[in-house]
Amino acid sequence: MESYNGLNLVIWIRSRRLPTRTVLIGDPDLVLQKEAERERAVYLVTPLEHAAFVRAVTTLLEAQPQTRRTPRKRVQVEAVVDGVAASVVDVSYGGLCLAVEDADRIAFPPFFTLKLTRLDVSRRVQRVWTSRVRDRRTLLCGARLALTSDHDDGWRAVVDSLPERQPIPSGSTR
């Protein structure tokens, strides 16, 4: 892989939302290990014991993939994430997807506060995934509501109140 490492491959796979489970094996490196965990990969340190490898693979194979529990609603809502302007592009009763433009140097922390500016609504959310759009300047983030039950009537009311964004008709110049 020349100047790349396995983590680059994991990030590439995740950016395409491929259903791949990954084990990285390498020398002790806390930074690489933390990055691998952030990308939901297992990082095993050499020298590697066969039993540890089998346990890691078994755990990955037994884990249930994360699935969406409620349908998404396409929206376009202005938001602020810990002081940074963002747009909510879809919502559900369990979470949302954000887009941040000109996000060259931005990374979403594991937990953050989302404010829907026009609705005066704030929620603490947990990052589930991030992905860079092909232009590499736009960062997408999927997040779920943190520390709330699946029956958060306040958030459900917000989701229900948001108008669904209509798709742009084919042939449109917009």
What are the pLDDT digits (tens) for 112-154? 999 998 899 999 998 888 888 877 788 899 998 886 544 577 8
**Taking Cα atoms as reference points, which of 164, 131, 149 lies closest to residue 94?**
149
The alpha carbon of 81 is separated from its chain's Cα centroid by a whole number of angstroms, namely 14
Residue with structure tokens 């002081």? 83
Give me the pLDDT at residue 46, please: 93
Letter for the amino acid at 170? Answer: S
CA–CA dist 148, 133 (Å, integer) = 30
**pLDDT tens column, 62-88:** 775 555 567 889 999 999 998 899 999
Give me the pLDDT at residue 66, please: 59
β-pairing verdict for 139-145 and 95-100: antiparallel
- pLDDT of 102 > 70? The answer is yes
Question: What six digits make up the tokens of 75?
Answer: 């929206």
- pLDDT of 174 > 50? The answer is no
Q: What is the pTM of this model?
A: 0.56
Which pLDDT band, with edges at 50, 70 and 90, does 173 fall under? very low
DSSP secondary structure of the chain: -TT--HHHHHHHHHHTT-----EEEES--HHHHHHHHHTT-EEEESSPPHHHHHHHHHHHHHSPPP--SS--EEEEEEEEETTEEEEEEEE-SSEEEEEESS-TT----SEEEEEEGGGTEEEEEEEEEEEE-TTSS-EEEEEEESS--TT-HHHHHHHHHSPPPPPPPTT---
